[in-house]
Structure 1
């Protein structure tokens, strides 16, 4: 994982932790890079991250695809989807401040929701696409 990918994950997590409306839906700022063992839903966990070189002749750049998972048990998929909607709105604000890098673009690309057979869990996955460049 590149330094830009790590910086992006850190900045996104901090943005989500600071969103009062999302915290209210989750019962607190329950946004994890890796959920603690035995964490009870609802909570948000940073998921799969993919980085690709997008450099051109004139400037280095990276494209990132970042999945963020919302885990829930309540109300069918409603609880997970409400949190997913708020999460996407919270992420769509001023450019994320990254250490050593700059966000050239950051966009929501998809939300997927499903019932997970074991334990009656529900999961919504919000996927974002970002392009980063080194800070000057």
Structure 2
């Protein structure tokens, strides 16, 4: 079996980092719930992968990739604070993070932004976390 793509390797590293934290688990309803798409019938609070991209960032012969990943934390109507608390905890977990990744190494990782918004139609509150990273193929 081959190593996963750098995008999937970083996602797996983020999931491992988040899943090991009981504080984040408590904010997300008892365990870390990070889904690819909204889970049918699952009440908030939970997190979703949003847009993700990697771009070639080769330097001096090193095979590197620049990543951007967005994670949304979905909260119950009227409770944007629960989404912001979980997003802030995720950001804190990524500060100075050293994560082992399959097939590559983490060069840099930072949280670029945390944003909050409310859906006018549903009242759903969400906080979005923008994560940037650079990885290098081993």
Give me the TM-score of the superposition, normalised by structure 2.
0.89
Separation of aligned partners in 2, 1:41 and 1:73 = 6
Q: Give the corresponding residue for 1:128.
A: 131
Which consecutive residues of structure 2, in runs of 5 or more, have no partner in the other structure?
none
Q: Give the corresponding residue for 2:39.
A: 36
Q: Give the corresponding residue for 2:60.
A: 57
Separation of aligned partners in 2, 1:92 and 1:44 = 19
Structure 1 runs, 4 residues or longer, greater than 3 Å off:
none
Q: Give the corresponding residue for 1:83.
A: 86
The aligned length equals 134
CA RMSD of aligned residues (A): 1.6
Decide which moves more: 58-67 or 30-39.
30-39
1:91 to partner: Cα distance? 2.2
Residue aligned with 2:82, SS: helix
Decide which moves more: 104-113 or 84-93.
84-93
Decide which moves more: 121-130 or 52-61.
52-61
The Cα offsets for residues 52-103 of structure 1, whole Å up to 9 and x where unpaired, read as 1001232111000011110001544211111111111112243111100000
Give me the TM-score of the superposition, normalised by structure 1.
0.90
Q: Give the corresponding residue for 2:7.
A: 5
1:32 to partner: Cα distance? 2.4
1:26 aligns with 2:41: no
1:124 to partner: Cα distance? 0.5
